[in-house]
A and B are shown apart, each in its own frame.
Chain A
Amino acid sequence: MSLRNPLSKAKGLGSAKDGTGHWWNQRLTAIALALLTPWFVVFAVGLLGAGQDAVRSAIAQPLPATLLSAFVLSLFWHARLGLQVVVEDYIHGAAEIALQVIIKFVFALAAIAALLAIGRIVFTA
């Protein structure tokens, strides 16, 4: 006999209320990064040794700005999810909770900072 409510069984989200969400989001961002990383590498290698003005005008173009925004969002999300699992596996106790909170804050900040920076470059071009 299962004590689980039939609705909760149908939703399939389990006791953590997340179901396969973490796993699936890590795969989705992995697919996004598998597509975006080759573009980013070509873009970044092309900018090696370039000055600030050249970097800004390259980022300010509509397509690079779009792809770069998608890349940093997927990257920070994927990194956050991955680090969460590594910390879950190897670090325990109070340090684990502190690290999990720090990781979430740092990568949220990095995503906001990167998007604002791209936005500033695009809108002041």
Chain B
Amino acid sequence: MATPKRPLSPFMIGPYYRPQLTSMMSILHRATGVALAVGSLVLAAWLVAAAGSALAYESFAACLGSLPGRIALFGFSACLVYHFLNGIRHLFWDAGRGFDIPSAYASGYAVLALSVLLTAVLWWFGMGGVA
């Protein structure tokens, strides 16, 4: 079946819209969601390794404890904190609350600030546990 080339609606941000806080946070919610989905498979691998042999768990722990592993873990935690906070913002919107522009901006800045703060707090505790 031949599919004719039909015009597609353009990607709006950039050539037509200036980036706004709201649209950037929306795309970031998706990006962190995709990253977390991939990271969730590592969580499954962690559980399988924990249930498996000592060698399996040692290899997994060595992977996660390596520098790339720690960087990935930091990325995962930052994504998790942001997606968690912004997800709550989305749930309030779904309930019809805080959807006016001033509130959406205020909650947006609050989510960004809290994301940085909570990720930092998490790693402050995390590094204490590792050291």
Residues of chain A touching chain B, judged by Cβ–Cβ distance below 8 Å, are: 27, 30-31, 33-34, 37, 41, 45-46, 48-49, 52, 55-56, 59, 72, 75-76, 79-80, 82-83, 86, 106-107, 110-111, 113-114, 116-118, 120-121
Contacts and interface: CB of A to CB of B under 8 A. Distances in A.
Ordered nearest first, which 3 A-B pairs have the shortest CB separation?
A: A117-B51, A79-B37, A117-B47
B41 A52 contact: no
Name B's interface SS. Answer: helix
B30 to A, nearest CB: 6
A83 B37 contact: yes
B105 interface: no
Contact of A110 (B44, B80, B84): B44
The DSSP consensus for interface residues of chain A is helix
Interface of B: 30, 33-34, 36-37, 40-41, 43-44, 47-48, 50-52, 54, 57-58, 61, 77, 80, 84, 87-88, 90-91, 94, 122, 125-126, 129-130
A121 B51 contact: yes
Contacts of B44: 72, 76, 110-111, 113-114, 117
A72 B48 contact: no
Given A75-B43, A113-B44, A113-B47, A27 B91 contact: yes
A107 B94 CA distance: 26
A31 B84 CA distance: 10
A68 B125 CA distance: 21
A8 to B, nearest CB: 26
Select the residue from A37, A76, A117, A121 with max chain B CB neighbours within 10 A: A117
A114 B37 contact: no
Contacts of B50: 52, 55-56, 59, 117, 121
Contacts of A76: 40, 44
A33 B52 CA distance: 27
Contacts of B43: 72, 75, 114
B129 A49 contact: yes
Nearest to A37: B84
23 contacts: A27-B91, A31-B91, A33-B87, A34-B91, A37-B80, A41-B77, A46-B129, A48-B130, A49-B129, A56-B51, A59-B47, A72-B43, A75-B40, A76-B40, A86-B33, A110-B40, A113-B44, A113-B48, A114-B47, A114-B48, A116-B51, A117-B48, A121-B51
